[in-house]
Chain A
Amino acid sequence: MHSFGYRANALLTFAVTILAFICAIASFSDNFSNQTPSTQIQILNINWFQKQPHGNDEVSLTLNITAGLQSLFTWNTKQVFAFVAAECETSKNALNQVSLWDAIIPEKEHAKFWIQISNKYRFLDQGHNLRGKDFNLTLHWHVMPKTGKMFADKIVMSGYRLPDAYR
Chain B
Amino acid sequence: MSKKGGGAASILKLIVPAGKAMPSPPVGPALGQRGVKSMDFCKQFNDRTKDLILETPTPVAIYIKPDRTFTFAVKSPPTSWLLKRAAGVTKGAAQPGKETVGTVSLKHIFAIGQIKSKDPAMSHIDLQNICKSVIATAKSVGIKVVH
The answer to whether A and B assemble together is no
